[in-house]
């Protein structure tokens, strides 16, 4: 019993410290659409955010999103009249997870710089998940926050 409690304590510590690599594509893309995505970098800060960057198949067409996501938008968040609080909060929280590995994979110092410089397609599911697709770089970013 004591060994079981120690194991649970170690698992809880790993999850709370963000040491578990996060592959969250299945929450963002329709079934079967995650296969062509290869994880480049991920970072998690418990109770704050998860950011995962994927290399997408060379294509101008974004992956089909999971049910509940809004259609892809090419209009920048700063230019939208009805920008959603979910997207803004998720991008703000993503800054907490934008570590050196994420900066290297994205080529940007933070999520706001990335969305302005790359002018990617963006979608959200109104539950704190934001999908970002950059067809020019072939990058798909999943943000949960």
Does this model's pTM top 0.85? My answer is: no
Cα angle 101, 106, 112; round to 5: 110
**Per-residue pLDDT tens for 45-95?**
877 788 999 998 777 788 999 999 989 987 766 555 455 667 778 888 888
pLDDT tens per residue across span 102-125: 999 999 999 888 888 888 898 888
- Do 121 and 136 form a contact (C-beta atoms < 8 A)? no
C-alpha–C-alpha distance, residues 90 and 39, integer Å: 20
| For the chain, percent of residues with pLDDT exceeding 70 | 77
In the chain, domain spans:
21-144
């Amino acid at each position: 019993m004591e060994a079981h409690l120690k194991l649970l304590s170690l698992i809880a510590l790993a999850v709370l410290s963000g040491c578990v690599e996060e592959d969250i594509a299945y929450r963002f893309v329709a079934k079967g659409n995650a296969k062509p995505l290869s994880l480049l970098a991920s970072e998690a800060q418990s109770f704050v955010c998860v950011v995962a960057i994927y290399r997408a198949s060379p294509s101008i067409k974004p992956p089909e999103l999971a049910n509940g996501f809004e259609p892809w938008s090419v209009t920048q968040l700063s230019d939208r009249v009805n920008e959603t609080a979910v997207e803004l909060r998720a991008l703000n929280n993503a800054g907490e997870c934008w570590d050196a590995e994420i900066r290297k994979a994205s080529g940007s110092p933070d999520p706001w710089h990335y969305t302005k410089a790359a002018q990617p397609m963006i979608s959200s599911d109104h539950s704190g998940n934001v999908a970002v697709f950059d067809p020019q770089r072939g990058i798909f970013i999943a943000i949960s926050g």
